[in-house]
Amino acid sequence: MIGTLVNTAAVVGGGMIGLLLKKRMPERVTSIYFQAIGLFTLAIGASMAVEMKKILIVVSSLAIGSLLGEWCDLEKRAERMSDSLKSRFHIGSEKFSEGLVTAFLLFCVGSMTILGTIQEGTGGSPDLLFTKSLMDFFSAILLASAFGMGVVFSALPLFVFQASITLLAGYAGSFFNDDIILGITSVGGILLIGLGINILGIKKLRIMNMLPSLVIIVLLIWLFG
């Protein structure tokens, strides 16, 4: 679990540095900076989705997951939780939820995350997660300087997500085969493209309600892949 702990600390540390930078950024710079972050998110999402296979399963996962998320109204629940956290910790950031979701997806749905946690969970070296931690540290600086405190709080779901996979891999490491890893990466890439569209202000997509797709893709590939 040491790799996940280091990764969590890296996100918190990078996020805190980013918050310090955010305070010194004039509004004109912040505007162009958000545009750059939006394009960066689109590029990362496209690079993750470009190797997509089992397209019918991916589309089905997105459709079923989105309907489940809409039924549960995850977006509204997340907004209420966000408002509660901002009130409790006196956080003034308008983009708290957006920063949390963007950071979580960027840090957690890539193949490096899955492979690193499986490697550590099956008794291997945490070196892959250490490498990811360094990358996430610098990414957290950039994201927190744009979105604020939500990026720091993304360390909590990151820890839960990676720790869960690490523990699961210790009992069933063979479950996470190449198809499942690629499926999670593909769906995550599509969701990141949607986040990029949101950040750029092109259209407001309810990405939070689509998050169950990341679970559905695993189930569908396991059943039909």
Q: What span, in angstroms and rounded, lies between the C-alpha atoms of 147 and 159?
A: 20
Ordered DSSP codes for 33-74: HHHHHHHHHHHHHHHHHTT---HHHHHHHHHHHHHHHHHHTH
Q: Poorest-confidence range of 12-16, 110-114, 147-151, 163-167?
A: 110-114
CB contact at 8 A, 191 and 45: yes
How far CA 6 is from CA of 15, 100, 122, 215, in Å, comes to 14, 19, 18, 25
Please give the pLDDT value at position 98: 83
Please give the pLDDT value at position 89: 63
Rounded average pLDDT over 96-114: 86
Q: For residue 136, name the pLDDT band (cuts at 50, 70, 90).
A: very high
What the block records as the tokens of 46 is: 């496209």
CB contact at 8 A, 6 and 133: yes
What does the pLDDT look like over 206-220, one tens digit per residue? 888 999 999 999 999
**What's the whole-model pTM score?**
0.82
